[in-house]
Amino acid sequence: MTQQIPTELTTYLERHIIVCYNGFDRAHDISHVRQVIEESLRLARHYDVNPAMVLTIAAYHDTGLCRGREVHHLASGEILQTDTTLRQWFTEEQIKVMKEAVEDHRASCGHAPRNIYGLIVAEADRCIEPEYTLRRAVQYGLDHYPALGIQEQYQRFKEHVRSKYGESGYLKLWIPQSNNAKQLAKLRRIIADEEKLYTLFNRLYTELTDSYPDIL
């Protein structure tokens, strides 16, 4: 990966795309997209890929959250494809490849990513580190289900992390140079220990509710 990313592209993404994440929930805010960008570019060094495409895919990957979580991957691909400004830097074929990569990044996607760019952003989006990952799961519950009490929040949280990250969960890993496999093993040990999982949830919930003044 020896190509340079155009400065004008980086400026455009910062001013017009990345800022959109300020309007999303705390599990998908601007710190999340920056982390996915950083990890995508790190993983891309192991492959013969266009870094400008890697950056752009990572920047757009969750923009479709403005249309709802269930279709956000498809909406994100559409937003990227219909952004005519990107034609300054990319061909129509490159736009198509990037659209497919964005569409395929979602962990619950029913098929493997169709190209190497999709594999990279999907892996980068996993961002697995036990406490960080579990914190995001708690944040999501507080943002989207604020009326739930603590025990209901825990049940939602537990069901989510088991279905996604558990031994039989739907999450798949794709890039061997990622640290996600080692972190996923650590996370699964926590998930399998009900007492440890609840203790960690309780601490994260208490810490996070301090920043949610409407939740008692």
Residue 3 tokens read as: 């190509």
d(CA 61, CA 153): 27
d(CA 35, CA 47): 19
CA atoms within a 13 Å half-sphere pointing along the CA-CB vector of 40: 30
Which pLDDT belongs to residue 26? 81
d(CA 112, CA 77): 16
Residue 144 tokens read as: 């989207």
Terminal Cα distance for the chain, rounded: 50
Please say whether the beta carbons of 75 and 61 come within 8 A: no
Please say whether the beta carbons of 61 and 46 come within 8 A: no
User: Of 107-111, 133-137, 205-209, 211-215, where does mean pLDDT reach its minimum?
Assistant: 211-215
CA 194 vs. chain centroid, Å, equals: 26
User: Of 27-31, 108-112, 115-119, 151-155, where does mean pLDDT reach its minimum?
Assistant: 108-112
Summarize pLDDT for 82-92 with one digit per residue, the tens.
999 999 999 99
Which pLDDT belongs to residue 111? 82
- Average pLDDT along the chain: 92
Which pLDDT belongs to residue 216? 41
Mean pLDDT of 41-45: 96
